[in-house]
Structure 1
């Protein structure tokens, strides 16, 4: 069975974890600092703060900005639950932005429409999601957010290694040139894996220090106090990432160029293999400015034209050894948010959801696996 995603763990990764297990610190030790420094250097940010997972990264970002109950955070409806939930964790309201139906991304136009639904409430943050690994139009979104008195926080768990070119300037997701912070996840199906794990990057030293305090119960150790003394000016959380997992992260980060090249090669092979299945099947559109390291290979399928339901296609592909997934059910459809905010009309999100199906994509795939997936899809759809 080809799963839609899978970690790539090799002997040197196992050796790195074994070495960490034999070290003096299993957590809150020097390997955490080393992983943070290496990640910051990789993405071109001044600071990187490791934490327990990608959801914790988003929550910490909201806490670091001191987002308050009754304030507003804008998030796209096509994303994982955590993007919206992080605002609710701090009592803020979520205004859901629509997305481009062919990229799944928040755009300046969909953000502008969402801004019109904020009303008289205070807008604190806009959370664009680099869905699949493709980058959003950060300069366009930043300009609108700034005009509205808010900052961007990039939700970037899909986009480790993705580069962008705006004008003549090449940038990398995580360098936070247009945002206050960017958040990442190292879940096993992501581009690099620590099992569970997350990171927040920022160029603001004060934000970085606040993130570090909040990830460890809110404790601070004032200068000049007894060595055992600590104080808690405000409560934080136990969102630390252990040295054991940071050792795996360091080992995986060293492989990022290879992983990125392999994912890009597989994505190019998919483009060639799926072209004959158009117009019923096509790959999600890549924005002109984005050079992604795709976490997800999303096919947009006209199930009605094929005369098959998505469930029929998913089951038939599974029977042929091809695993798939759906990314994502629009978050505004979830019972919690429907009960909270009522029904919303977001046609781009609905159009995306109606057609999306994630196909297998991970570095360990063999060269001929893409052709196998394309042939299975052609057979199942009767094309």
Structure 2
């Protein structure tokens, strides 16, 4: 897929829209974000309204390369600085105590704030242009550019499919990572992983010398964070996530002459005869975690358009390498648990 990178004039226009309190969808290396001025409560309210997002669900502030993250937080800890030096620009969001002048709306009313610096060149150009309009302290609140709870967008067309012409979109081509950033909480005096992503707990431990606490459902004091609700990232088509031996009875029970096929996403080695069954729309699952992450959201959106009756997905290996993709698939499937 080819695309023409936005011109300087287009970047300047988008920064001016942000400056005026309007919304701009922009590419990052993870997914496309729905951006608004993080210092403007009215712009933040527009983000929530456009997405249909609960107002107590925080959004992440995106910062330009070379900007001062300390402007947004009460204290930039030594561990935070080490992680910034190691992983920014990149797909790591840090949760720290919010500076008093930062609008509470960006944090869903909490006393913490999530900040990150994306590596995508179009995002960096936009953030730099906008920050220059704010004396170097501009930040862009940017949750994923989709309706709340739906599949995140990894191309500009996904954003247009979601919002039509109502949102100004900068096209930066397909996202290279494909799933949202790792979220690490440093707001309580110890590191805690709130959302897995491309930067792993082991990567973090290598930098700060401490393995972060992992999500176990028992951390009641953890701040709310983007993309951590039980049901999230869901397609509109019902989805089941099961081991292949549990999928086979569902496949066998589906009538050969059914009006709609069942979609099957599985390893080719598992699929066997079902890969060619007339009542099955088969998709070979990517072999490695990075490819699976990059292709996941585009695949779910494509299967929504395929008008299948149900999406059946083979469970993935349970390992650190697969944890981020497992997290997204588990939340997508959770949206349909009551329909089993």
TM range, smaller chain: under 0.3
